[in-house]
Structure 1
Amino acid sequence: MKFKQVLFTVAISAVTALGVIWGYGKFMKTNNAYAGQEAGVVPSNYKYAGLLDGATPPTGAVDFTQPAAAALPAVVHIKTKTNAKQVTNNLPRSKSNSPFGDLFDDDIFNQFFGNGRGGVIPEQRASGSGVIVSEDGYIITNNHVVDKADELTVTLSNKKTYTAKVVGTDPSYDLAVIKIDATGLPFLLYGNSDDLKIGQWVLAIGYPLNLETTVTAGIVSAKARSLGLNKDRNGDAKSGVESFIQTDAAVNQGNSGGALVNTDGKLVGINSAIASPTGYYSGYSYAIPVNIAKKVVDDLIKFGTVQRGYLGVQFVPASDLSEDEKKRAGIPVTAEGIYAQEVPTDGAAYAAGIRKGDIIRKIDGIEVASGAEMQGQISRYKPGDKIPVTFARAGKENTVTVTLKNKAGNFDIVKADAAIDNLGAELASLDSKKAKDYGISGGVVVKKINDGAINDQTRMKDGFVILKVNGKAVKSVDELKTEIGSNKNITISGFYPGYDGEYEYPITLGDE
């Protein structure tokens, strides 16, 4: 009898051990199989730091040496160069005729557009930080770090330097992905920003004020902050997404794009902004939650543009309404959540049964009481995703499944190719030999103009060489797609071979 009990105990222990191992593997896969990170892969920077390898964490006073050691090798210094720019749309009269000679007399053309005397924006250099998130060189940073830069240089903590290319950007989130050509790199594992607690210790790591790698510590002082900083590509602040983690870790100019890590050395945020009357650290800094950042990164790598889902509700936090406003709206004075001011009939929320006057309480089971909290939840999903939304109506709570839509009002995945197709032109990357002959590093040739935005809105002619989109250099068709992204309004800049001067063509593209 005793022998059977022993066997039974051994069997139970074995099953339990296997269950723990399976559960851990499942967790690692779920937590890290995202945005360029392979499931279960632990980079050497964690092993050498004594994290995630079974080591016992230090006890007693708070010690940041292990998370700092793990994170430092994966945070990089990004230096940018923006070439000098001639601010003119005119042709000098000193050389050959305008390519529009068959349409306008040169004198009339130059009188209409000016005399060719334009200003020059001098060369600009700046720097910021970035976080390596895959062993093959994908790096997260802020959009404002790389915006309009013509050259990007990345320096690792071991002083190795690489030239980087932009994979994708999105100003609405102030995030960008760049890549260097390298393998076997240290990288940061994604943490879970939802698990952060007010008062929890965090580290900010970056390259402030052009210094070498710098680590500062602080606590999470608030979550889901909105500062009104982010705008979309068209300058619309309403489309900006903000749900910042607020900390009192010292962050300065140059920290932008750097890592906010927890005491496990895992990435929980991307440092992005400071609240300061002087431009330097004055007590508070702000980071983009990693749960938002990793979704944006994944989209930029896979699609070249962010797949943003829309709930389809014009709202205001119920806490922002006065007692009189709540009474007029017919909602309880103590109501908490998001008050639906308008629910367009073509939106996702209306299709699911949400109506004007409802109070949205939860998104996917997470309570929301502010616009930043709701944005923070919705921004994690793409068009076509189905999420439960809990709302209150007439004192009764209801939960419905909402299928999110894209900005165009359908469920399609938005691809960078769609916008470039709307241009209506046959495009090709400029041959390297011709680029050298022209004295440029690259561009895109408009081989033939067909029906589309270029033909409808401009006088561009076949043979035009595109050098920039919205002031950002493009050296290939792929880079052109990236820079156009989901932009509605763009300005294409370039030249006609054999003629002096630079032309700019403003173009408006459809939402789709």
Structure 2
Amino acid sequence: MFIGLPRAPQIAAILVTCLTLSFSGGAVQPAAAQDVASGGHVERSLPDVLEEITPAVVNIAVTSRAPAETNPLFNDPYFRRFFDLPQMPQQRPRMSAGSGVIVDADKGYILTNHHVVDGASEIAVTLKDRRRFTAELVGSDKATDIALLRVDASNLTALRLGDPSRLRVGDSVVAIGNPFGLGQTVTSGIVSALSRSGLNVEGYEDFIQTDASINPGNSGGALVTADGQLVGINTAIIAPAGGNVGIGFAVPIDMASAVMTQLIEHGEVRRGRIGVSIQDLTPDLAEALGIDASFGAVVASVEDGSPAEQAGIQAGDIIVAVDGREISGSADLRNRIGLSPAGSRVEIVYLRDGVRQTVAMTVNGESGPSRASTSAIPDRLAGAEFQDASGNVLVANVAPGSPAAQAGLRTGDVIVAVNRRPVGTVAELTRLLGETRGTIALDLFRGGARLLLVVR
């Protein structure tokens, strides 16, 4: 079971649902801020490092409002009128806890997880020295599970940001947070894997996997190297029995920092897009294309009038680098472009017929999701609603008992191909379905697994 580390008012409830971990990650540190983990050459013991960096990790208490549980009879207007019940059900306060990291001591910026503060009516931050402040929510981004808070306080300590791209599997790391609301707790482990994705097909993922113990309440807490550099934001775990089994995930701080910059400037994340539908370059595909490359993203289609088309990108090109940094696959490219501000310039390196070429283009803003007209959907898939989902097509809703439901389609499925022909938009899906008269084979992702759904 994949657990997204949610806030939880009770320990028992957290163990059987999600694990809410709170973290805050980076921004450029002002000269006046007190930064720790300066990266000196003198090796220090772990207790010495922790003594310096733990004041930068905070506990977050969230108050939200939840509808009170009511008897179904209370929904009957005649019953309510007879017993003179109030028209609106009473709401009850709900308390939950998470963690956060101070990343700018002068401005009081704190990074944490979106799911920690989602729906909050009040957010309180408690420092290691027991000072308590009410925090302002600057902005939040569900797709990366990152949120930015601000407190009006002095004498804060901020963590210095590390470079996740320099991490290697086996590096020692430390997770700091507030598990189960017990208070600041430190656990240690190693980097188990890098660039994990596929846990949430709609999100932007490039997780650092670690076996450092992460539990409910750690959400938004810090993942730091042995010398105190902040490299990740603890976010989620896989927990078959509801508790920690040594498989935790953190959002890389470079991704969190990019989100933070946009939240400060715009209060939201304005994602970029270049108008391509992509898929991973596999060894078999590389052999079929006759190229000597192990990683990259194959362009399956290019939208008319998009930045990619204007720059000369064609279907079949293999994108291997963005702004001088190699990409590992389609998820990596999606992250790089999606987190590039709209209007920014990016340099794309790609292979065509084995020849390496470079082009520059301006990133467009991500438009609102478009939905398919129900009249354009075949009767065999009637009852399903589709919408664009960052290079793929999301099944937004499936009516119970409809032909689409009976065919096996489920809400949340992400369609990537029809009869082995890649689709990147609702318009492409509608066109391909309209051209298909026989059996429909839908290549899709469901719950992180890829499967083929045959509709006759």
TM class, shorter-length: 0.5 to 0.7
For 1:222-371, list aligned pairs within 5 A. 222-229=193-200, 237-238=201-202, 240-319=203-282, 327=288, 330=289, 332=291, 336-371=295-330
Q: Distance in 1 between matches of 2:190 and 2:325?
A: 23
Q: Distance in 1 between matches of 2:334 and 2:184?
A: 32
Helix, strand or coil at the partner of 1:296 = helix
Helix, strand or coil at the partner of 1:299 = helix
Q: Which runs of 5+ in 2 are unaligned?
A: 1-25, 369-456
Answer yes or no: is the 8 Å Cα contact 1:35–1:301 preserved in 2: no
Which residue matches 1:70?
A: 52
Q: Distance in 2 between matches of 1:334 and 1:378?
A: 21
Which amino acid is the alignment partner of residue 211 of structure 1? L
Which residue matches 1:217?
A: 188
Following TM superposition, by how much is the alpha carbon of 1:348 offset from its aligned partner in structure 2, in angstroms?
Answer: 2.1
For 1:35-74, list aligned pairs within 5 A. 35=27, 37-38=29-30, 40-41=31-32, 43=34, 46=36, 51-52=37-38, 56-58=42-44, 63-74=45-56
Following TM superposition, by how much is the alpha carbon of 1:335 offset from its aligned partner in structure 2, in angstroms?
Answer: 5.8
Helix, strand or coil at the partner of 1:83 = strand
Alpha-carbon spacing, 1:193–1:385, altered in 2? closer, same or farther (3 Å): same
Q: Distance in 2 between matches of 1:365 and 1:54?
A: 28
Helix, strand or coil at the partner of 2:120 = coil
TM-score by length of structure 1 reads: 0.60
2:112 pairs with 1:130: no
Helix, strand or coil at the partner of 2:135 = strand
Which residue matches 2:134?
A: 163
Alpha-carbon spacing, 1:304–1:202, altered in 2? closer, same or farther (3 Å): same
Answer yes or no: is the 8 Å Cα contact 1:292–1:379 preserved in 2: no
Alpha-carbon spacing, 1:375–1:219, altered in 2? closer, same or farther (3 Å): farther
2:348 pairs with 1:389: yes
For 1:46-195, list aligned pairs within 5 A. 46=36, 51-52=37-38, 56-58=42-44, 63-85=45-67, 122-135=92-105, 136-195=107-166
Answer yes or no: is the 8 Å Cα contact 2:38–2:160 preserved in 1: no
Answer yes or no: is the 8 Å Cα contact 1:224–1:372 preserved in 2: no
Helix, strand or coil at the partner of 2:256 = helix
TM-score by length of structure 2 reads: 0.67
2:360 pairs with 1:401: yes
Q: Distance in 2 between matches of 1:53 and 1:148?
A: 38
Which of the pair is proportionally richer in helix? Answer: 1
Q: For residues 126-168 of structure 1, what are the alpha-carbon distances to aligned partners after superposition, in whole Å with 9 as ceiling and x for unaligned?
A: 1000001111321100000000011111111111111112110
Q: Which runs of 5+ in 1 are unaligned?
A: 1-33, 93-106, 230-236, 410-512
Aligned length: 334
CA RMSD of aligned residues (A): 3.1
Answer yes or no: is the 8 Å Cα contact 1:225–1:372 preserved in 2: no
Which amino acid is the alignment partner of residue 82 of structure 1? S
Alpha-carbon spacing, 1:121–1:200, altered in 2? closer, same or farther (3 Å): same
Using the aligned pairs only, state the percent identity: 37
Structure with the greater alpha carbon radius of gyration: 1
Q: For residues 241-267 of structure 1, what are the alpha-carbon distances to aligned partners after superposition, in whole Å with 9 as ceiling and x for unaligned?
A: 111111111111111000111122121
Answer yes or no: is the 8 Å Cα contact 1:170–1:176 preserved in 2: yes
Helix, strand or coil at the partner of 2:104 = coil
Alpha-carbon spacing, 1:85–1:344, altered in 2? closer, same or farther (3 Å): same
Which amino acid is the alignment partner of residue 271 of structure 1? N
Alpha-carbon spacing, 1:66–1:381, altered in 2? closer, same or farther (3 Å): farther
